[in-house]
Structure 1
Amino acid sequence: MRKFKTESKKLLDLMINSIYTNREIFLRELISNASDAIDKLYLKSLTDASAQVDQENLAITLSFDKDARTLTVSDNGIGMTADELEKNLGTIAHSGSEEFKEANADKQGDAVDIIGRFGVGFYSAFMVAKEVSVVTRAFGSDECLRWTSDGIEGYTIEPVAADDPAYRETCGSDVILTLKDNTDDASYDEYLSEYTLKDLVTRYSNYVRYPVKMMVTKSRQKEKPADAGDDYKPEWEDYQELDTLNSMTPIWKKHASDVKPEEYNEFYKSTFHDWEDPARTFTLHAEGALEYDALLFIPGKAPFDLYSRDYEKGLELYSSNVLIMEKCADLLPDYYNFVRGVVDSADVTLNISRETLQQNRQLQAMERRIEKKITSELESMRDTDREAYEKFFGNFGRGLKYGIYSSYGMKKDELAGLLLFWSAKNEKYVTLQEYAEAMPEGQKAVYYAAGDDRDRLAKMPVVKSVLAKGYDVLLCTEDVDEFCFQAMRDFTAKGLPKVYADDAAREAAEKAQADGAEAETEDRSLELKNVSSGDLDLASDEEKKAADEAAKANEGLFGAMKDALGDAVAKVTVSAHLTSADDAPSSVSAEGPVSLEMEQVLSAGPDAAQAPKATRVLEINAAHPVFAKLQAAEEAGDKDKLALYTSLLYDQALLTEGLPVADPVAFAQNVCKLM
């Protein structure tokens, strides 16, 4: 026996027990090695006239023997000489494939795709095998050799006699694994199962360029005997057939024009276990310093666990058609976590186990390009198929909003244009850009109302008052909406009609347009304003003046009302937007960064006790008949009646806003007192 060197023994132990996290990938590694061996033979046939290869017969074959507990991976590739066995298998971490690639870099082209890189994949076999034999015959050699090792002490290399059943008549290699005995923690019998082997090939090696074949058991109906009577019942029998387990050609490597939509749909449903066709399918091919192909899908519906902690984002990452990671999270930003697909690149720098990557900057470059492609496709869907986009947004729009909030508004330029909100004025979903384009002249902000019910929001007095001014209001019903708008702060609308500084400039522009010039446009930053905030500034000068005069004239009344409410409100004042007897008698607004809706969302969270509170302001409609009742109670010195009226008005305003009253029992009792 030839002994492994001490250093090699330590390295081999590391290969077997530390580098790979999942033992089932041993089959991926052995199939990749077999594919490399066939590629080497094929490349030799391109440069050596004596090496004639029948491409149709190039294949990798799996077989197993349950009684002997052996699993065999065979190829009809280039095989190995005694020196190559010594160098490639006797020297750990020596990659014959990598050496071959470097020596033939100018000859490979697209017809050959050598996968091996580190020279350690073969040793993953010892994760499941107590002994590994390699029976091989090199191309052009008359000698068949056997390399055998237990993966502990060393290995032997010996010739195989012609009368030995293992003797190879042609070039190629058979890797024979004698599986470990089962333990309480691990069952190795599973690798002696048709089902398991087919599953591993489909999962990890489905797109290896050569067919991976295995004898599989199938069932068929027996022929009906000629003398069978009318009561004959069909009989079935099992039979063995050599079947190809892998599909070989990746669908993402084909030109999009050569693939039918149904084929993409079927690939998506079978690969990602979805019952519905994807809402959108698109491909990406990148060239340059980092080349890769991507096939991406936007699902037709949201997974049930999309917004749970257990949901894992990520794209399938392949290198040279071999699956490296089932979910590479670094290829997608969180707000596009719903996207599914595959990315294949031979250029990514893998770690030694081929389970993770070494260079984050490669992933970052790919992620940026993929992100831009997804954004572009969503914009196209928004503009060309609005019905489909609205359905998409209903499924995944929440994540886009959260992307703006979680990035503290840094991603608003990329994502704001994809958002949809319900227009109270037009009663349909609109984008922020569409909202801006429909604004009347002079509007300087985007107005929105946040709550849990669209119909209730539309009936709010403050929403009606804003609509009465001719301005639209976006009705937002998701808990993330308020946080999203707070993070955005403003929205830059593109190509709006230019606003001129004075009449002279406007007249000059109008004259130029009359002479044939195009109308001037500009990008304009619009503040995002919650209609329940206290700084809408929509009142006319006359309305502001009237409100100020009423507030000054009734300072004593408002002071008494503030005293009656205590710390529930910061102040009581006259409303500048409730200005007629037909409007509501009162409303509640918020001052400062915490809105009423934000307070409600935070109070439902796990840290409700520490959640910040909105600074509430009770606004009174001075034109409403109730205001006269308040004045009369204050003039009469009836503090109890004034406190009763104040409490009712405040609770009424809260209910109108969709907010809970602090003491429902007291509210009910106050209503009874009034009755």
Structure 2
Amino acid sequence: MSETPTMEKHSFQTEVKQLLHLMVHSLYSNKEIFLRELISNAADAVDKLRFQSLDNSELIAEDPDFKIRITTDEQAGTLTISDNGIGMSKDELIANLGTIAKSGTADFLSKLSGDQKKDANLIGQFGVGFYSGFIVADKMTVVSKAAGSNESFSWSSQGEGEFEIEPSDKAGRGTDIILHLKDSEKEFLNDWRLRSIIGKYSDHISVPVQMLKPAEPAAEGEDPKPSTEFEAVNKATALWTRSKSDISEDEYKEFYKHISHDFTEPMSWAHNKVEGTQEYTSLLYIPKNAPFDLWNRERSRGVKLYVQRVFIMDDAEQFLPVYLRFVRGVLDSNDLPLNVSREILQDSSVTQSLKNACVKRILSLLEKTAKKDPEAYQHFWEQFGNVLKEGLGEDFSNQQTLAGLMRFSSTHTDSAKQDVSLDDYVSRMNDGQDKIYYITADSFETAKNSPHLEVFRKKGIEVLLLADRIDEWAISHLSDYQEKKLVSVTQGDLDLGELENQEEKEQREQLEKDSASLIERFKAVLGDKVKDVKVTHRLTDSPACVVSSEGEMSAQMARLMAAAGQSAPEIKPVFELNPEHQLVQHAAEQSDAVFEDWAMFLFEQALLAESGSLNDPGTFTKRLNKLLLAK
């Protein structure tokens, strides 16, 4: 193509260059998916114009029949995907095809390892889209005319460093994507091959995907006449409007890939048509793998919204809470107005009703998966568990259902694997036990080895081990499950109730009386560093520990708030002593001056065991060295 004064050259965004290289080299074994992606994009362009035409019918007056056409030119070696949808202006061509607008792109690229198989899965989670065309083409040309515009432009690139933009003379609205196929990819000029790919991946597209009818057999002695008539090669019926019995598993899976641009298959889905006071159809999917930007709560989320089969918007977030941001799907309502906007959805009672129904449908689907296929649910939990935990503090109406879906590590196995449900825990509770015990910590090892667990291990009482950053916040919103109170083993006075016999209670009371003077000595040394000093009933092997008062913010929560840059109230711990421990007894025998060092050492040692750090580790080290050298 010769350069003219009207031609402009632009450089790709850096991330586009990286992604193009990785895509071409990682997706070679799944190259046919380029056609699925380009047809999906064309269908989206048609949906967007269909919606805009509700307010401005002039946009489609000259060509009211929406369609996608696939044509080939064997001599030129080109494959063209054309649509008469919304089209793109010059600025939109540059923005949409020269950059990747997804947030977190750099973070996504940093996770790519160079292992083609693993990278293919990651790229699939990111979404391959338009750039997948370069898997089979060494050059792509895009000619587009925005609906309602008199101008059209051509975009072209060889998928390396640059792309070119220049005016074109396209007649009708929409977009033509012309792939100049590599010599090794000419199989995609074959009519039968294209039809089979469309049938496999795009049968569910609600827009007719057309190809030229096969040529009529020529009469003897005559040359065959090329066909000029187009026919639809897909069902062209919105998949969610069809009866469930008429839809195959493969069709459901391909439709998921179409709406999510996910390369992998979904874990499960729920397809429901509701009639009565409200009429709507929902098709909701739970992905198998988490997207790379799952933890960005501001990322686009939600379902595709249709009203009476007419596409209204992508990512209608009003129908899903933030903690279900990984769910994909379609919602088609007969009870919303066709000109519905995001602002109207925000305050609509119909929206709230549909949202409640969708949430219950998804949670029910997760419950069924957990019961019928624990292995699949375990994989789901490893991918999305920490996001689901957000619901404990954000969705109180479904809190008990969500609690039943939680999975934890526990002292039952001492394994870091989170595979213990609250139902599992309750089923194993000791006779007389009426509480669910848990501990939160910065790491699994810290939780598992905490001195607070000593009496629980001695008595064979299971304790949940919570070590994810969100756990402290999430569990603080869950007060009980199945009428069993959830209790932190690091907060408040320990009351084991019926798990402690009368003899043990009497021994505890006697120990408190015998240790009264020792407790006073510790109080005198520690002063306002602590809220109180008590005899412990948690410890069997350790000399001391620190705990938070009942109802007070835990030290773990305070640390999390500080790490997030938020101010937290000053928390003075309760210091609990084990008077029967040799170190405590040794300290009690010392003179006041030496005892002061022992008291501070035991206190700081307990703080270190609980939080993993000290405000003044230097002084602690000097004091420890001094005590070690004392005779």
Q: Which residue of 1 aligns with 2:256?
A: 268
Q: Which residue of 1 aligns with 2:546?
A: 588
Q: Which residue type is aligned with residue 296 of structure 1?
A: L
Shift of 1:362: 1.6
2:629 corresponds to 1:668: no
Q: Which residue of 1 aligns with 2:467?
A: 477
Q: Which residue of 2 aligns with 1:195?
A: 177
Shift of 1:481: 1.9
Which deviations, in whole Å up to 9, do the C-alpha atoms of 1:199-220 show, x marking residues without a partner? xxxxxx998967375999xxxx
1:75-224 equivalences under 5 Å are: 179-181=149-151, 191=173, 193-195=175-177, 211=208
Which deviations, in whole Å up to 9, do the C-alpha atoms of 1:630-675 show, x marking residues without a partner? 2111xx3x32x11211122122222322432221111111121122
Which deviations, in whole Å up to 9, do the C-alpha atoms of 1:432-476 show, x marking residues without a partner? 122111111100100111113223322222213212212111111
Shift of 1:374: 0.9
Return the match for 1:576 from 520, 537, 551: 537
2:607 corresponds to 1:654: yes
2:488 corresponds to 1:530: yes
Moved more, 597-606 or 471-480: 597-606
Shift of 1:413: 2.2
Distance 2:167 2:48 in 1: 13
1:158-557 equivalences under 5 Å are: 179-181=149-151, 191=173, 193-195=175-177, 211=208, 242=230, 248-351=236-339, 357=345, 360-407=348-395, 409-427=396-414, 429-492=419-482, 525-538=483-496, 540-557=501-518
Q: Which residue type is aligned with residue 559 of structure 1?
A: E
- Aligned residues of 1:34 and 1:60 also touching (Cα < 8 A): no
TM-score (norm 2): 0.64
- Aligned residues of 1:483 and 1:598 also touching (Cα < 8 A): yes
Q: Which residue type is aligned with residue 543 of structure 2?
A: P
Distance 1:491 1:352 in 2: 40
Distance 1:596 1:650 in 2: 15
- Aligned residues of 2:455 and 2:537 also touching (Cα < 8 A): no
2:584 corresponds to 1:627: yes
Q: Which runs of 5+ in 2 are unaligned?
A: 1-44, 70-81, 91-145, 154-164, 179-201, 214-226
For residues 586 and 288 of structure 1, do their structure 2 counterparts lie closer, same or farther at Cα, with a shift above 3 Å needed? same
Which secondary structure does the structure 2 equivalent of 1:194 belong to? strand
Higher relative contact order at CA 8 Å, sep ≥6: structure 1 or structure 2? 2
- Aligned residues of 2:268 and 2:285 also touching (Cα < 8 A): yes
Distance 1:333 1:353 in 2: 18
- Aligned residues of 2:556 and 2:611 also touching (Cα < 8 A): no
Which secondary structure does the structure 2 equivalent of 1:662 belong to? coil
- Aligned residues of 1:60 and 1:213 also touching (Cα < 8 A): no
Q: Which residue type is aligned with residue 618 of structure 2?
A: V
- Aligned residues of 2:533 and 2:574 also touching (Cα < 8 A): yes
Shift of 1:258: 2.8
Determine what percentage of the aligned residue pairs are the same residue. 31
Distance 1:541 1:301 in 2: 52
For residues 274 and 23 of structure 1, do their structure 2 counterparts lie closer, same or farther at Cα, with a shift above 3 Å needed? closer
Shift of 1:179: 2.8
Shift of 1:23: 12
For residues 355 and 245 of structure 1, do their structure 2 counterparts lie closer, same or farther at Cα, with a shift above 3 Å needed? farther
- Aligned residues of 1:35 and 1:209 also touching (Cα < 8 A): no
CA-atom RMSD in angstroms? 4.2
- Aligned residues of 2:409 and 2:420 also touching (Cα < 8 A): yes
Shift of 1:371: 1.3
Return the match for 1:605 from 545, 564, 587: 564
Q: Which residue type is aligned with residue 462 of structure 1?
A: H
Q: Which residue of 2 aligns with 1:561?
A: 522
Shift of 1:540: 4.5
1:638-653 equivalences under 5 Å are: 638-639=592-593, 641-653=594-606
Shift of 1:245: 9.3
For residues 406 and 179 of structure 1, do their structure 2 counterparts lie closer, same or farther at Cα, with a shift above 3 Å needed? closer
Which deviations, in whole Å up to 9, do the C-alpha atoms of 1:166-205 show, x marking residues without a partner? xxxxxxxxxx97734589xx99979563139xxxxxxxx9
Distance 1:299 1:567 in 2: 53
For residues 620 and 322 of structure 1, do their structure 2 counterparts lie closer, same or farther at Cα, with a shift above 3 Å needed? same
In the TM superposition, structure 1's runs of 4+ consecutive aligned residues that sit over 6 Å from their partners are 31-37, 186-190, 205-210, 352-356
Shift of 1:531: 0.9
Which secondary structure does the structure 2 equivalent of 1:297 belong to? strand
Q: Which residue of 2 aligns with 1:226?
A: none
Q: Which residue type is aligned with residue 643 of structure 1?
A: E
For residues 26 and 376 of structure 1, do their structure 2 counterparts lie closer, same or farther at Cα, with a shift above 3 Å needed? closer
Distance 2:562 2:383 in 1: 26
TM-score (norm 1): 0.60
Shift of 1:304: 1.8
Which deviations, in whole Å up to 9, do the C-alpha atoms of 1:12-31 show, x marking residues without a partner? xxxxxxxxxx9994455559
Which secondary structure does the structure 2 equivalent of 1:306 belong to? coil
- Aligned residues of 2:531 and 2:574 also touching (Cα < 8 A): yes
Q: Which runs of 5+ in 1 are unaligned?
A: 1-21, 38-57, 64-71, 75-121, 129-175, 197-204, 217-238, 493-524
Distance 1:353 1:543 in 2: 67
For residues 631 and 240 of structure 1, do their structure 2 counterparts lie closer, same or farther at Cα, with a shift above 3 Å needed? farther
Which secondary structure does the structure 2 equivalent of 1:430 belong to? coil
